[in-house]
Structure 1
């Protein structure tokens, strides 16, 4: 694994480098999810349908999924700090293009540029965050980094949605450009300069991870599990306004409820992963997420119940993140030790293949006037994620038993 020497084997304080990564993750989190809050405004301004505007989420995720592993390979021998600063610079440029765009095509192009930088940043950043702390704290370090993304859900996305719906959808993109500049400054200041170059092998060695059954299985867990929420979440603003009956302003405010839940869930997921192991943490979270999405479907018309269900939903949906990433790092260290960064990139791809598939499924349901039923699709996907997780658990147990027998 690409890692710096831990500062201390006993300290539980997070190194400032991990916090710097969280600042960059905050900027990225606002960009990824801000479209969800201003989707109707973009559709109206650019003269496109709501389901077409939804492709700004699904195609962003698809570009991220395809581009991330390729870019991780291309950057595998670069110094980690320089790679992360370069990726944040490209991310800034893509958002500036989106902010200045006056057509759907240019906006989409800016989003694609942003997406590719986003994925590689999290793939490399997750391994760096895990390497800056003692091994037992890796899950917690990853959760702190991802807390930047989820904090964006609490503050950035609701505020950006409110201002974007009030003053024009381009304003949040300009705000993200400033956030990206802050992220650049934080990483330049706080990331250790002694981070080694990537430890990945040749491209062929890393690409071999694509033929690893356990790696592909872990990707399936991530794609089904994390992606399960996005059939409904991509269209959460029209759901809250057209089905639940809230005003656009109230819908933007309710994103704070969801965002606060994602922040809490992320920290809880990091705790569960570090204390009970990532496999048990995922089993608990996936079952809870499936049940929760049933609750969302049954509460979708209630202005009293929906805010409560939004919180519970956000808690479990994003509580999966630390355990999913810790699971991939653990799986890669066991089965493809020369391609850990690349495997981390593949898992970022899996997150976004799930988002893309979920968003496309949601768009299909919207086009067929089934928007209110979209949480049921999420329930099915969350349960499906338990199948590859069970296979991987058996594989790991067999591997452990075989290794113990050899000794």
Structure 2
């Protein structure tokens, strides 16, 4: 159902953003706690970084499984149930007795992530007119960006002063609040999507345009997380900031995320493919130049903000591309794309760990990340070329048959 002619956005979008805020906080906050977690649980920073990879892989696996399993359930009930899983997982993180338990708890928490954003994206686009769908998605994802602006720095501050477990207790409380907001504000009359057999959904997902979209998401965001996973040690060991400076600098990153997310949504509503390519190019440039900026404290802070802008400007066009190409399998495609973001996160965290532990070290993470994102841009160019040629294929076939 489309929105009314009024240009104001439905309040339900902000309820979805509340859930996104909680999920975004628990996903990203660990990056500001790596040093404390590693010291407390007696593991290396590279091993602690696998807590990001484990979470991301849980999203990648859990997104399609839970989306298919809940496809016949009312969407509002699905969203509330996912927030319950999220809350339980964070409680387990807070009480984890060792590294293995914490990793398992992170995986449990991650199961809610992909399906929440996948189902939430479909609900969000159903609440507005066709020409505002990317903007609706960007509003829901604003919860994710505000989590980085407020939730992650606050969580890092809590971890520094009261221990890393206090952060997960706080995030569990956020989960309870988000459940109540969603239950109150998300309408019931948008609950049911079009019934489609799992076999038909899988066939739609097999569309090469959808698969290319998923691949460009993986590669684009692998570059981001090659750097962002290790932002705390980068800022302290390469740039020379004190640990107490990390939280304020993450605020700058969060401001950049909000600006980039909203900008990417508005541009994608007008020119989807051009915005997709432009934002990937901008991300490559920022990552590449950041290699040199990290040796100046002023420039490092500036480029942390620019990284936030460039990274999340890609989110609405990447998500909308997959939604557009998936026909009737929008919920599954949307969830899979969230899984693709997180597979990129996992690959980036793993690659960054390899560079830190066995390669040239922390200072090389940015240019390695730029090369990874460049591969995502090449896939996007391939997808655009393929789309441009599709209308010509029947004509070429007819010409060949007539010769």
TM over 0.5: yes
TM-score, normalization by structure 2: 0.95
Paired with 1:308 and 1:371, the residues of 2 have a C-alpha distance of 19
Task: Work out which of the residue numbers 2, 14, 20 in structure 2 matches 1:6.
Answer: 2
Q: SS where residue 346 of structure 1 aligns?
A: helix
Q: State the Cα deviation string for residues 224-246 of structure 1 (Å, max 9, x = none).
A: 11221111110000111111110
Q: 1:148 to 1:403 in 2, by over 3 A?
A: farther
Q: Which of residues 373, 376, 379 is equivalent to 1:382?
A: 373
**Structure 1: where are the runs of 5+ without partners?**
none
2:95 matched residue in structure 1: 100
Quote the Cα distance in structure 1 between the aligned partners of 2:76 and 2:55.
25
Shift of residue 395 of structure 1? 2.8
Residue matched to 2:346: 356
- 1:126-159 Cα deviation digits (max 9, x unpaired): 0110111001100000000000000111111011
The residue aligned with 1:116 is 111
- Which one of the candidate residues 42, 45, 50 is aligned to 2:40? 45
- Paired residue secondary structure (1:228): helix
- Contact map agreement 1:219 1:350 (CA 8 A) in 2: yes
Q: Please tell me whether the aligned partners of residues 221 and 348 of structure 2 are also in contact (alpha carbons under 8 angstroms).
A: no
Secondary structure class of the residue paired with 1:372: helix
- Equivalent residue in structure 2 for 1:211, among 202, 206, 212: 206
Change (3 A) 1:404 1:26: farther
CA distance in 2, matches of 1:83, 1:159: 29
> How far did 1:400 drift?
4.8
Task: Indicate which of 286, 296, 299 corresponds to 1:305.
Answer: 299
Gap change, CA 1:208 and 1:251, over 3 Å in 2: same
Q: How many residues were matched structurally?
A: 395
Residue of structure 2 in register with 1:19 after alignment: 14
Which of 268, 275, 281 is equivalent to 2:275? 281
SS across alignment from 1:268: helix
Aligned to 2:72, what secondary structure does the other structure show?
coil
Q: Deviations over 1:361-401 (max 9, x none)?
A: 00001112511101111111221112221222233333456
Question: Which residue in the other structure is 2:399 paired with?
Answer: none
1:176 equivalent in alignment to 2:175: no
Other-structure match for 1:74: 69
Go from structure 1 to structure 2 and tell me whether the alpha carbon gap of 1:74 and 1:403 turns closer, same or farther (over 3 Å shift): farther
